[in-house]
Amino acid sequence: MNTAIDEWAFVALGSNLGDSAGIVRRAFDRLQTLSDAPLRRSSLWRSAPVDCPAGSPPFVNAVAGLRPCPEESPQSLLRQLQDLEAEFGRRRGKTPNEPRWLDLDLIAFGARTADLPGLVLPHPRAHRRRFVLQPLAEIAPEFVLPGQAKSAAALLEELSSIEMVARLE
């Protein structure tokens, strides 16, 4: 089986309600069922909320790399991610970026690009978010997000964001 990194999909995981570390770990296990190869799992990272309502609790973040099944499309994977969020109790409210049990963002689907209602690939802010780049660079340092000229590791190294992330033990 060919597992070239440019054929993988990357999913950012986040939680800031309940046992966030446990939720992210259980979500990793569920994401494994969507992968045609062993899931790449980053460490868990604690981060301050970014662009969230005042008083939002800190997040536990991670990134998973999965090898989509041959029949999978970005749209079908996104639907499965949204179903998984709902399974973990996420209800989309009217307040953007409100606290949530589980947030799954499709960061990249190989080298594909898309600009569709509800799906933009690569994720338009992934290359500017430390809470995404830190775990992405951990599991796929050589991966180049479509439209970028540098790898995840190089983007992280050059990031001038003041965001603070800390690896959880």
Catalytic residue IDs: 90, 100, 103, 105
Helices 74-87 + 20-32 axis angle, to 10: 140
CB of 28 closer than 8 Å to CB of 102: no
Of 62, 61, 13, 64, nearest to 35 (Cα)?
Answer: 64
Say which residue the tokens 């604690």 belong to: 46
Distance CA 80, CA 121 (A): 16
